[in-house]
A and B are shown apart, each in its own frame.
Chain A
Amino acid sequence: EDQVTQSPEALRLQEGESSSLNCSYTVSGLRGLFWYRQDPGKGPEFLFTLYSAGEEKEKERLKATLTKKESFLHITAPKPEDSATYLCAVRGSGAGSYQLTFGKGTKLSVIP
């Protein structure tokens, strides 16, 4: 069974204070690791897909990296508008290969 664990559960940063969010996963045959951003009461917003260890993707102040066991979402010089819950999900090649398995998310608060 695919599993995703995200840490920390919550993170408070001062504006401009860079940090990283962690996503640890176990999956049989990774077919993709996904990062989403979710604002309160809204649907998850797709950010990145990573497919193999060593891959990196960037978008504005966000950079996602992938190893064989973990993914990190690095946030550089965050702004208050980056405040949201960040969700990590995996798709494996096992019996549940059509679905995404999500972690419980990291709630990020950026203080001006």
Chain B
Amino acid sequence: DSGVTQTPKHLITATGQRVTLRCSPRSGDLSVYWYQQSLDQGLQFLIQYYNGEERAKGNILERFSAQQFPDLHSELNLSSLELGDSALYFCASSGSSGHSYNEQFFGPGTRLTVL
């Protein structure tokens, strides 16, 4: 158990809909990262938040957005969903400095299925 929690575990929805994925980082970690994992693309970085502020953006679509709240939990919002958005979505967290900042610990993921 990494200490990172994600809800829900599974999500099934229809094209065009909007969903919200939730992540709680390990106790004391200030950084939260979101990744998408599909069979053909592997793990792809989406976005990072550090202590409530956006720090880095990767291959995140404009239909997707995220935020980190004062209690450090984070939400990833996916809208106008398409079939190709079906994937595993992982959240990871890391500490605030030095080697602890470098090492990311992953949650169990949310499996999104768009029908």
Contacts and interface: CB of A to CB of B under 8 A. Distances in A.
Interface of A: 31-32, 34, 36, 41-46, 49, 87, 89, 91, 96-105
Contacts of A104: 42
Given A34-B103, A49-B102, A98-B55, A42 B109 contact: yes
13 contacts: A32-B103, A41-B88, A42-B108, A43-B107, A43-B108, A44-B43, A49-B99, A87-B43, A96-B45, A96-B56, A98-B56, A99-B33, A99-B56
A88 B112 CA distance: 24
A99 B31 CA distance: 11
Given A41-B111, A44-B90, A96-B58, A101 B45 contact: yes
Contact of B42 (A31, A34, A45, A103): A103
Contact of B102 (A31, A43, A45): A31
A103 B41 CA distance: 10
B104 to A, nearest CB: 6
A102 B43 contact: yes
Contacts, number: 58
Contact of B45 (A31, A45, A99): A99
A44 B91 CA distance: 10
Contacts of B43: 44, 87, 89, 100, 102
Contacts of B2: 43, 45-46
A85 to B, nearest CB: 10
Interface in B26-74: 31, 33, 42-45, 48, 55-56, 58
B104 A46 contact: yes
A18 B21 CA distance: 41
Contacts of A34: 103-104
Contacts of A105: 42
B46 to A, nearest CB: 9
Nearest to B2: A43
Contacts of A36: 106
A43 B103 CA distance: 14
